[in-house]
Chain A
Amino acid sequence: MATTYRICPRSGLQFDTDAEKLMRWNAVAGVLALLLGGIMALGVILTRWPAVHLLPADQFYLALTSHGINMLLFWIIFFEMAVLYFASSTLLHCRLATPKIAWAGFWLMAIGAIMTNVAIFQGESSVMFTSYVPMQAKPHFYLGLILFAVGALIGCFVFLGTLVVAKAEKTYEGSIPLVTFGALTAAIIAIFTIASGAVILIPTFLWSLGYIREIDTIMYRVVWWAMGHSSQQINVSAHVAIWYAGAAIVFGAKPMSEKVSRSAFLLYILFLQLASAHHLLSDPGVGSEWKVVNTSYFMYFAVLASMIHGMTIPGAIEQAQRAKGYNKGLFEWLRKAPWGNPAFSAVFLSLVGFGFLGGISGVMMGTEQLNLLIHNTIYVPGHFHATVVIGTTLAFMGLTYFLVPVLFKREVLFPGFAKLQPYLFGLSMYVVALVMMGAGTLGVSRRHWDMAFAGSGMAYEWPGAAYLMMGLTGIFGVIAIIGGAGWILQVVLSLLFGKKLDDGETRSTPIPLTLPPQTGGHAAHVATPGTMVLALVFLVSFILYYFVNWKYLSSLWGMA
């Protein structure tokens, strides 16, 4: 079946018509999930804000279940499908493999997402994102997740098929672009993730129907987290790919070294999935040797990879800026960056927040013994709001500012708000993550309706500082939600009422990518001292925080 190709006059990108439509629908479905998840976030945050304590317990747990699933699965994976189609078909200038099957995948995901949400809002399925057995949800809660996962799996295979098509039809020369390589990493991890999800959710579904008598709780946690945590590693790979894309789009930045960046992605493929162990460090039944090897991604090789990306992306930006003449001192390249361009500011805030807040806290609490201080406290959501909200969601938001004119052919309305949005949303999320981690360090539990323990015979009294931190979580959480809601509103209004932009040329055959003639020599080398200084600041913070927590651990009751 013939398709057509549109050359975007604003970016020069070439869109296969089928792929373009799929990208738009997936992105819109993702934003709808984000909207629902965001409304639920408001209920959650206003309940955990002790002075407000809005919802009754049953509604709070329902809202929390819906918030977790819509944000961590539906919003992110729908958007990632759009990223996969973009990174394959658009960046490789080729047609999308099997568009009909891709649509089948999309509708399976959509039906699954709706089914699970229906189950949650009917009540009786407030089992949290994790749905730990033996607490049981209604069968269609699990079935919806299974359908969603199968749909996403189909999307991954369409992506892989498209890579094959591009290679076979010779639409590009040499190797696939680094961003596509990152998307490929995400797709490989996604396949592992979804397979793990099927392995645990199918028996759990059968158990909820009564065909299986019992699901072992430790086995459930081991296998479920191979999905639950690895699905967040899809995000890491995807948003790192978007960071590279952002640097390329805004600055024309070239990776410092293709070899290093690609090797770092390879380390992700090899080791990132071991992170299931992060959730089992304070569990019985799995041994210390298993915990130590797995929690460290086999000697921290995946952390090493993230530290490499964290340096090479600002490094690439520094090189591009210095080449343009911003050469004064250590940081002129950064001062003169386009801070008013949301595609840049979102990527930069995402990268710094992911590294400093999400990365350091994640490694600390992923240390076998230190996890005893953190397990199931509100420190954990503090950490993953830094990784998933600041890291992933903010990066996706930044990319969307680029996609609205390019993919949806509309002008972004309210450009003044767009300039501020990454700061409003990103920086308030920085504070939320920090104060949640602070409260967690004092012991405050996650997934807990009332820190005053109303109705308990033996209530514990948290220190005043814990109440203060939870109050701040409430205040800055509301600000972040305003920033997120503003983004949704802006994007939706732009899609509906933004000025229509010129479609550009439409062709029946793709223009292949060609490489410029090989020069043989290397481009002039540009050093990146500013980035190195930033990296060392990061390292020193990391080391100090890591050992402070060992010091804290050593003061506790003896345990053996």
Chain B
Amino acid sequence: MSAISPPAERIWWKQPIDKLEFTWIAIAFVWSLVMFVMMVYWHVAGGQNLSNETYKTTKEMFAAKAQAVVDKYTVRAGTAAEKEFPVVAPPAGSDIYLIGRLWDWWPIYELEKGKTYKLHLSAMDYMHGFSLQPQNINIQVHPNYDHVVKITPNQSGTYSIVCNEYCGIGHHTMVGRIYVK
């Protein structure tokens, strides 16, 4: 009798388990526990965990907060290659607001290596995807939610923010920038 017929022995649940089969189950079980503990362990000891700090917001409220930071800390107007967006250099430790909208990431921030910032993410219309390259850190960005992520850049350079959540016909043009000094 095979797998497409009823089990030949009516009392199949009393059949002994093959030794190798049992060994494999035990190994697989231990590995499952290791992987589970690994996630918990990283919350305690790891340096890269996605923050749970989220607030309900509105598009107007979030845009106003972003505008306030831009008004206060803009260091220069962007060049044509920077879409003439304001380049903003807030002090370490401050709250910075990044707007995702069709089809820009606004504004451009200039951060210091090794310093921590509270990055607020929200979208003005559809959902967007914050994809920091070439780091490859990827975070979903929702409208009407303010997601606060503490970031600490560990290398200087020019970083791009690619949008990786489909947001319409101009999705592929939605790229932003962060400078780390």
Contacts and interface: CB of A to CB of B under 8 A. Distances in A.
Nearest to B163: A445
Interface residues of A, number: 112
A441 to B, nearest CB: 8
B24 A311 contact: yes
Nearest to B122: A284
Contacts of A304: 25, 28-29, 32
A91 B4 contact: yes
B164 A446 contact: yes
B17 A260 contact: yes
B2 A456 contact: no
Contacts of A539: 27-28, 31
Contact of B39 (A178, A307, A368, A455): A368
A248 B3 contact: yes
Interface string A309-352: 00110011000000000000000000000000000000000000
A559 B48 contact: yes
Interface in A429-477: 441-443, 445-451, 453-460, 462-463
Interface string B126-169: 11010111111111101111010111111100001011111111
Count class of interface residues, chain B: 35 or more
A543 B31 contact: yes
A559 B50 contact: yes
Given A175-B12, A559-B149, A260 B21 contact: yes
Given A91-B4, A527-B20, A554-B48, A260 B160 contact: no
Interface string A348-383: 000000000000000100011101111111000000
B29 to A, nearest CB: 6
18 contacts: A174-B6, A217-B143, A283-B142, A284-B52, A292-B36, A295-B39, A304-B28, A307-B24, A311-B24, A373-B137, A375-B129, A376-B140, A457-B83, A515-B8, A522-B15, A527-B18, A532-B20, A558-B151
The 6 A-B residue pairs with the shortest CB-CB distance, nearest first, are A558-B152, A300-B32, A284-B147, A460-B160, A248-B2, A445-B164
Given A172-B6, A284-B52, 10 more contacts: A252-B2, A257-B21, A285-B145, A287-B52, A375-B140, A456-B173, A458-B81, A458-B82, A518-B10, A554-B47
Interface of B: 1-10, 12-13, 15-21, 23-25, 27-29, 31-33, 35-36, 38-40, 42-43, 46-52, 54, 81-83, 116, 121, 125-127, 129, 131-140, 142-145, 147, 149-155, 160, 162-177
